[in-house]
Structures are given as C-alpha cells and as structure tokens.
Amino acid sequence: MNADTRRATYETLMTPLDVGSHTLRNRVIMGSMHTRLETESDPIRKQAAFYRERARGEAALIITGGFSPNDAGLLEPGGPRIDDAHKALELRPICDAVHAEGSLICAQLLHTGRNARQDNCVGPSPIRSPINSRIPRELTGEEVWQTVEDFAVAAANAQAAGFDGVEVMGSEGYLLNQFTVPRSNKREDEWGGSVDNRHRLPIEIVRAVRDRCGSDFMIIYRISAADLVDGGAPAEEIATLAKKIEAVGADMINTGIGWHEARVPTIAYPVPRGAWRRAAANVKQAVTIPVVASNRINTPEIAEEILASGDADLISLARPMLADPHFAKKAREGRADRINTCIACNQACLDYIFSERTASCLVNPRACRETEFSDTPTNNPKRIAVVGGGAAGMAAASEAACRGHDVTIFEAGEKLGGQLNLARAAPGKSEFDETVRYFRTQMQEHGVDIRLGTKASVDDLAEGFDHVVIASGVTPRIPDILGIDHPKVASYDQILSGKRVAGQRVAVMGSGGIGFDVAEFLVTPVETSTQIAAFFETWAVDGEFATPGALTGDPLAPLADGRKVTMLQRRETKPGKDLGVSTGWILRNALRKHGVEMLGGVTYDKIDDAGLHITMGGAAHVIEADTIILCTGQEPVRELYEALCTQGVPATMIGGAQEAAELDALRAIDDGVRLAQSL
C-alpha cells in the first residue's frame, strides 16, 4: 500500500492497539483538557454529555481534565480533586457514559506544585515560577512520601469510580516535572541532586499506583519530552526517565511539550502542524511500551503520517476534540473532509479558561454546551435566505440546513469565507481554510443552494423566503484624516488580499487584532510560516531535541529583519493589551524580535509624501513611511437589512452586520449557529 492510499484510509490510525490489559479500538486518544464544566450547575450530567459525545465519535480512550490528589496540588481553590473516596464515586456516571459508547476513560492525576494559584503552594524547593507570584513552600521529605501515597489513594479512588486507569501528569512544568530538573529542584536529600534522586518522585508514584490498583488498571505517564526552558532536561535524562517509568509498571507514555512558563509557543497557530513529533520519537526509541505524540496534530493526515513513520504509536488530540468530537469516526468512515478542524486559535478554549469561563470552541459552539443545543430536525421546515458567505452566514446556513430547513445562501464574491479569507493570509492562520472547507462541505451535504457572485437585492429576498438572515459583514473603517487618499495609504483588506507593500518603511495605523496580524504578515515570510525548521530557528528550538530543555539559545533573541514597521494607536494603553491571553504574548514577542516599534497615545495629524505626521507626548513627529496601512477597525454593512425592514420582510442580522465592534470569527460563528437553532 503506498503512502497516499494509506493516508486516505488512515490504516495505521485505525488499527486497534493493546495497552496493558486493554484493547484500544483505534490510535486516537482524547487528551486531557481543563473545561471548568465542574464549576457549572449539574456538573456531572454536563461532563457525562461532553465525554459521551467524544466516545460516540470513537475516540478510543478519553483522558479527563486533571484531578488533584491532595489539597496542595490544586490549581486553584475549589478545583477538581479526587482524594475523597466517597465523593469520587459521584464521577461514575461519566465513566458509564463513555463505556456505553465503547470507549475507555482514564482520570488524569495532576499536582500543580509551584504553579498553584492558591495559598498552599508547594514545590521541591522554594523557587518561584516566573508565571506565579507565590513562592512555594519546600515539601519536607516526609511530605514527599505522603504525596506518593496521595497519588496511590487518588488512583484507587478513580478505580472505584469506574475509570479504566489514570494518567500521572509529569509534564508541562507541574510538580513531578519540577522534581526532575535542578532549575526547580535544589534539594540535597533523597529527592534531589543526582538524576536518580530527581527522578525518584515520578518513579515511586507509578510504582505505588501499580501496587495499589493491580495489573489490569491502566497507568499512563505523561513525560515532558521537551521542557523548552533554561535548565530543562537533556534528551538522555528524558530517555532514562522513560525507561524507569516503564520498568516500574506504566502501560503507556504520553508526551507533553514545554513548561507553562516556556517562552516558546507550543500549541497555538504559529506552531506548524506536527512540530513536536521528533520529541515523541526520541521517547519511543527508549521504551517498548506504546508512546503517544501530542500537540498541534489536528488532521487525520498528519496523525497517520506520524504513526506510519514510526515516530509514535498513538495520537493525542485535545482541542481537536472540542472542534469535532467525531474526528475518529469521520476518519474511519473516509469522511475526513467533514471534520471541523481545530485552528489552534485558543480563543474559546484556553482564553475562556484563563478568564474563568467554561471552555468552548470557536469553530464549534456546541463544545462543552452539549446539553444546550438540539440535534433533532425541525418540525417546522422553513425557506431561509442567508445573505453573506462569511463565517456568520456559513454557520447559520449549514446549521439551519442540518436541522431540515430549505436554505439558500447569497455571496456577492466569487468564493465563500468573507473575512476568513483575509485572516488566513496572516502567518499561521491558513488553518482558517479548514473552517471554510468544513462549512462548505456541510452546506453541500445538506443541500444548501450556494449562490456565489450573487449580490442579493430586496427583490430577490422579498418573496419566496420565510425568513432572511443578514450576515453581510463589515467593511474597513477609513478614518477622516488629512491625506487619507494619498497613494501610499492602503487598507488591511487590500494588503492581506495581495496588494504589494511598497518600500521597507511601513506604518500600521491601529493596533488591534488585525493591526498585529498585519504587522506579523509584514515581517514574517508567509512561505516559511508553516515550516517546522523555520519555526524552530525563530524560537531557538533544537530540532533534534538533544540539548538541555531542547533550546539552542534565547527564544526571545532579536531576529535580523529588513523591514522597519511602526504600529500606532491613539489609546495610551499598552498595544496588544486586548489580544487573547494565550496568543497575545506570542504575537507581541514575535514582533519585538523583529524590531517592530509600538507607539500608543498618538494623535494622527496628516499623511503626505514624508509619511505619517503624529503628535505624541505634546510634540510633533513624522513616521517616515513608504506604505501606511489602515487597521482602524470596521463599520457594519447593513443597508439591505434596513431596506428589508422597510418592506416588512422578516429578517435578522447576525455577526459584523449586527455589531462590527470586536467582531471576530468566534462571535460570528456563535451568532450563526444559535440563530439557526432558534429558527
């Protein structure tokens, strides 16, 4: 079988695998994710619905979000824990729901150590994490042994609740990882110093869990395959730890990449697909038990390629399981083009979690809201017109058609996608192509009449439809400034759709999400943005994963760059302040590395041959620029809606047409799906 045929059928990905005394029906694992569903009302029912849907979608094994084995291990007060035998039994409906769909489920045991955001914060040594203001209290030797016991008790509690096993979390810079390296472990007792002593805690925990839970209970150890921090472990120590973990009874090793405090992006869209496979391959070479590859694997094609090449035995998908719970089933059925692909934006998963909201997904608003949406067909089918083939319009049309409505979508341009076709031009954001592909195939499958190159008029819509959905989107805002019509001025949509950027000196007016994307576009050659080698070079990652921490230098070191870019905004606030928590730091650092200047608190005076004239701090300045790009927000396009209302045609506006401010794909898709549910 040649490589292309194998990929089309995903033969390796779909091959069952024995892990310990269990058989996994395929090689797709749902990786651990914190959802915050446990903080909602009726949490067990909602978690059962969430995990059941992923099991129904044929993920062979589900690993839950982390449960702490004791008080000190909690990430935050009131976080999930599994140290009470009686309370742990309340989790049984979650296990039953997953088992009923033919999948396995393991509980992740997570002790956060010095990353804890609560006052009982402990660690191997009293060394503060750069991402936590708390200095951890050093655990006594006795307390470390108690921690071993706590893990064993937690595993036994999980077993009694019906879990098939546990994943012992040893990566991402949490407690067990903290013990393994001198960066955070300066101890001189039996838990620190030599490599054996630093590895003792994870080894003793796996040994204790095996002793307590017996041979049929699955034990997965999540190893840090690349720490990506100064003073991180070298490859030989990681391989040694993996061997010891196997020797004391683990059934499988999962791989984690990068401590949370690392300054290298590990999962967001700037990371090319499959970037970390070599780190998993290094671990696999050290052991005979199955090894799992994880992080930035979001299609069956890349998953199959990694497995078929022998780099790993299984694939862990976390966010892609939010985006499409039926990933594995669709891959098995040869319907990979129907998979709703995770675009690695982090906007509705990690960014929600960081702002203490329950996770969801930008491309799939149903994620973690399984009990809110209906999948039953409508009993009142209507003829629906959708105007605009951008994110909001496509989401509304495909959802309405799925529910049994007769849908026609009008798009004035020659292709679907709207603003997504601009966003996709930013480095790393070509993943948006998958979103357009997903909605297009959904619409085709459900019989939507797609009319491209068709600007719908009031006459087209006034008759023949029961309801009109206006998703006509936005148009770039052109600020009223002297010289705005100078030939050196271009708007972001012109630049992102291919207009040549003249000269090497560029001023970007507006420092919102689009201003940052445009600046990134100006300094990063698009052709290198999906190349793993170029990504590693930019962020000083050792492609062989051999150096300590897998770094070759300072990830934030400046890069040589030809173009001089200046970003501006009128507000005094820090430029980029409102970018997503989990991606903003990457964009800000990437631009700083390229020497992009960011100016706040400016007043725009005029534009002329010299460039952009501004006032800042009471003084006049000229930003000498060959090109000036407007990223100054958007205005809604809603003339058609107003005309329809005048004629009494039932219509609803969604997305940017309804509210241009802070419009993004997240709100657009959510608007579209929710409106279609209500029709």
The residues binding ligand SF4 (CB under 6 A) are 319, 322-323, 342-349, 361-363
Residue 517 touches ligand NAP, criterion: CB under 6 A: yes
Beta strands per DSSP E along 521-665: 564-568, 597-599, 602-608, 611-616, 619-624, 627-630, 634-636, 651-653
Which structure tokens are listed for 211? Answer: 């002793």
Which range touches ligand NAP (CB under 6 A), out of 87-95, 234-242, 445-453, 566-574? 566-574
| Cβ closest to ligand SF4, residue 181 vs residue 349 | 349
541: its two tokens? 């990652």
What element of type H or E holds 136?
Answer: none
Answer yes or no: are the C-beta atoms of 57 and 324 closer than 8 Å: yes
Q: Does residue 580 touch ligand NAP according to CB under 6 A?
A: yes
Stretch of 152-160, 221-229, 436-444, 577-585 contacting ligand NAP, by CB under 6 A: 577-585
Q: Give the residue among 611, 639, 620, 607 at the shortest CA–CA distance from 480.
A: 607
Q: Taking the complex as a whole, how short is the minimal distance between the CB of residue 406 and ligand SF4, in angstroms? A: 30
Cβ pair 395, 442 in contact under 8 A: no
Contacted entry of ligand SF4, ligand NAP, none for residue 664, CB cut-off 5 to 8 Å set by kind: ligand NAP
Note whether 141 binds ligand NAP by CB under 6 A: no
In the list ligand SF4, ligand NAP, none, the entry touching 323 (Cβ below 5 to 8 angstroms by class) is: ligand SF4
The token pair at 459 is 């006459």
Minimum distance of ligand SF4 from residue 360's CB (angstroms): 7
Q: Which of 17, 250, 663, 679 binds ligand NAP (CB under 6 A)?
A: 663
Under rule CB under 6 A, how many of the chain's residues touch ligand NAP?
A: 24
Answer yes or no whether residue 510 interacts with ligand NAP by CB under 6 A.
yes
Choice from 214, 377, 479, 650 touching ligand NAP (CB under 6 A): 479
Pick from ligand NAP, ligand SF4, none: which does 472 bind, CB < 5 to 8 A by kind? none
According to the binding rule CB under 6 A, does residue 631 interact with ligand NAP?
yes
In this structure, are residues 473 and 418 in contact, taking their beta carbons and an 8 Å threshold?
A: yes
Find all residues with CB under 8 Å of 38, minimum gap 6, and list them.
47, 65, 80
Q: Residue 454 class from Cβ within 10 Å (0-12 exposed, 13-18 middle, 19+ buried)?
A: middle
- The Cβ-side half-sphere exposure at 578, using a 13 Å CA radius, reads 12
344 binds, among ligand SF4, ligand NAP, none (CB under 5 to 8 A by kind): ligand SF4
Beta carbon of residue 601, minimum distance to ligand SF4 (angstroms, whole number): 32
The reply to whether 174 belongs to the active site is yes
Q: Which is nearer to ligand SF4, 253 or 362 (CB)?
A: 362
Category of 474 on φ-ψ map: left (φ > 0), alpha (ψ -120 to 50) or beta = beta
HEC assignment per residue over 340-398: CCCCCCCCCCHHHHHCCCCCCCCCCCCCCCCCCCCCCCCCCCCEEEEECCCHHHHHHHH
From the list ligand NAP, ligand SF4, none, which binds 370 (C-beta under 5 to 8 Å, kind-based)?
A: none
- Closest approach, Cβ 43 to ligand SF4, in A, equals 21
When the beta carbons of 436 and 649 are compared against ligand SF4, the nearer one is 436
Cα–Cα distance measured from residue 625 to residue 611, given in angstroms and rounded to the nearest whole number: 5
Bridge partners of 122? 137
The verdict on 390 binding ligand NAP (CB under 6 A) reads: no
Q: Kindly state the smallest distance separating residue 54's Cβ from ligand SF4, in Å.
A: 13
- Asked if residue 511 binds ligand NAP (CB under 6 A), the reply is yes
Summarize as ranges the residues that interact with ligand NAP (CB under 6 A): 477, 479, 509-517, 569-571, 579-580, 583, 631-634, 662-664
Catalytic residues: 174
